[in-house]
C-alpha cells in the first residue's frame, strides 16, 4: 500500500509541477521580466527566464516530455500495484479517483495558480526548468529535429497592430494601464493611417497676416490672438510666403525695428500634401525641428495649416487649450464658419 500511495503522490506532484511551470511560462509578461532584468535581486533570474521565453518551444517540450512520462508511468505502475493490493471491486473507483486527482490536482489547480500568481512563481521555476531541460536533453534533440522537419520553412508571424491595440485594451480592462495610456497606444498606432487633412486647421479659420504689414501693425493683432507662429501672405491668403514668430516680433520692437515689414523677418514655411500621413509629418517635424506647415490641396491651393501641437493633440486624444484660445475644436469652428461667415473663430 505504501508503494502505491508513493506512486500516486509522485505522479500527481510531478504532473502538477509541470502544469504550474507551463502556465507560469505562458503567463509571465515580457515587460515585467525586462523591468526585473534592469536591476535588483532578480535580474539574473529574469535574464535567464527571458531567454527561455524567446525560445519557448524548448522549455515547453521539456515540460511536456516530463509530464507525459509521469502520467504514463505513474498510471501504469499505480494500476499494477492497485490490481495486486486492492480488491477487484475497488479497481474501478480507484481509477476514477486517480483520474479526477490528475484532472483537478495536477491540471486545473496548478495551471490556475500559475496563470494568476505568475509574478510570484516565475522566480521559483527558473532553475528547476533549467535542470529539467538538461536532464531531458537527449529526448529534446529528437523532438526538436522532428518539429523542425514538420515546420520547415515556416516562421513565427509578427505581432500585428491590431493585436497590440487589443493587448492595450485588455491591459486597461485589467487595470494594469490607465484608459489614457490605452488610448495613447491606439493613437500612436493609428497615426500612420491618419492623413494630415483629418487633423489640420482648415483654411477658413487660419489666422494669417499680410507680408507688407509692419511689426508695429502686426503686434496688436498677434497679441489679441495669442499665437506663437503666424503665416504671412502676399496678394491674398492663397499665397502663403512664410511665417513669423511672436518672439521675433517682440525682439524687433525692442530693437527699434517696429517699421520693418513682416517679410523681412519671416521664416521659410513648409508645404505638404494633404494626403501625407501624420506619422511621417511628426517624424519630419522632430528631425528638422519644425513646428508649422501649410497643407496644400490637389490643385496646389491652401487647404489648411498643421502644427506640432496638432500632432501632439492627436497622440493625446485631447485638445490642448490655453487661456488665450477662443475656440476649442477648430474643425467644428470651420464648419460653423461655412454656415455663418460672420461668426468668430480663427487660427
50-83 residue pLDDT tens: 999 988 889 999 999 999 999 999 888 988 888 7
Cα 257 to Cα 219, 246, 252, distances in angstroms: 12, 14, 5
Average pLDDT over residues 205-212: 93
Number of H helices, E strands in the chain: 16, 7
Question: Where are the domain boundaries for CATH 3.10.580.10 in the chain?
Answer: 196-339
Which pLDDT band, with edges at 50, 70 and 90, does 208 fall under?
very high
pLDDT in tens, 281-316: 999 999 999 999 999 998 889 999 999 988 988 888
* Interatomic CA distance for residues 222 and 152, integer angstroms: 67
Average model confidence (pLDDT) for the chain? 86
pLDDT in tens, 75-99: 889 888 887 887 777 778 888 898 8
**Could you tell me if 189 and 161 are in contact, meaning their C-beta atoms sit under 8 angstroms apart?**
yes
pLDDT in tens, 270-279: 999 999 999 9
> What is the CATH number assigned to the segment(s) 196-339?
3.10.580.10
Phi, psi angles (nearest 5°) of residue 319: -75, 135
Nearest to 187 by CA among 321, 319, 316: 316
* Interatomic CA distance for residues 244 and 229, integer angstroms: 6
Specify the residue for cell string 512563481.
Answer: 121
Instruction: Answer whether residue 135 shows pLDDT above 90.
Output: yes
Residue environment code for 23-33, b if the CB has 16+ CB neighbours within 10 A, otherwise e: bbbebbeeeeb
Amino acid at each position: 500500500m505504501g508503494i502505491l500511495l508513493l506512486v500516486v503522490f509522485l505522479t500527481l506532484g510531478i504532473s502538477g509541477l509541470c502544469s504550474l511551470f507551463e502556465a507560469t511560462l505562458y503567463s509571465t509578461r515580457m515587460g515585467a521580466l525586462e523591468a526585473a532584468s534592469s536591476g535588483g535581486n532578480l535580474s539574473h533570474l529574469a535574464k535567464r527566464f527571458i531567454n527561455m521565453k524567446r525560445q519557448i518551444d524548448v522549455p515547453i517540450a521539456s515540460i511536456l516530455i516530463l509530464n507525459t512520462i509521469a502520467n504514463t508511468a505513474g498510471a501504469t505502475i499505480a494500476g499494477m500495484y492497485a490490481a495486486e493490493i486492492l480488491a477487484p471491486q475497488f479497481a474501478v473507483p480507484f481509477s476514477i479517483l486517480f483520474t479526477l486527482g490528475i484532472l483537478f490536482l495536477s491540471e486545473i489547480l496548478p495551471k490556475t495558480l500559475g496563470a494568476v500568481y505568475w509574478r510570484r512563481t516565475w522566480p521559483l521555476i527558473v532553475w528547476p526548468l533549467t535542470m529539467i531541460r538538461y536532464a531531458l536533453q537527449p529526448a529534446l534533440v529528437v523532438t526538436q529535429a522532428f518539429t523542425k522537419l514538420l515546420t520547415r520553412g515556416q516562421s513565427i508571424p509578427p505581432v500585428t497592430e491590431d493585436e497590440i491595440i487589443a493587448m492595450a485594451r485588455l491591459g486597461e480592462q485589467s487595470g494594469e494601464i490607465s484608459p489614457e495610456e490605452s488610448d495613447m497606444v491606439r493613437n500612436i498606432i493609428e497615426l500612420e493611417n491618419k492623413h494630415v487633412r483629418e487633423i489640420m486647421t482648415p483654411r477658413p479659420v487660419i489666422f494669417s497676416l499680410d507680408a507688407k504689414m509692419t511689426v508695429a501693425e502686426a503686434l496688436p493683432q498677434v497679441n489679441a490672438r495669442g499665437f506663437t507662429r503666424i503665416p504671412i501672405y502676399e496678394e491674398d491668403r492663397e499665397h502663403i510666403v512664410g511665417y513669423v514668430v511672436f518672439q521675433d516680433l517682440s525682439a524687433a520692437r525692442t530693437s527699434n525695428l517696429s517699421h520693418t515689414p513682416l517679410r523681412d523677418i519671416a521664416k521659410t514655411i513648409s508645404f505638404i500634401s494633404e494626403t501625407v500621413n501624420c506619422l511621417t509629418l511628426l517624424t519630419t517635424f522632430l528631425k528638422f525641428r519644425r513646428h508649422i506647415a501649410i497643407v496644400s490641396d490637389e490643385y496646389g491651393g491652401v487647404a489648411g495649416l498643421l502644427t506640432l501641437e496638432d500632432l501632439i493633440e492627436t497622440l493625446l486624444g485631447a485638445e490642448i487649450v490655453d487661456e488665450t484660445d477662443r475656440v476649442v475644436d477648430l474643425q467644428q469652428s470651420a464648419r460653423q464658419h461655412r454656415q455663418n461667415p460672420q461668426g468668430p473663430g480663427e487660427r
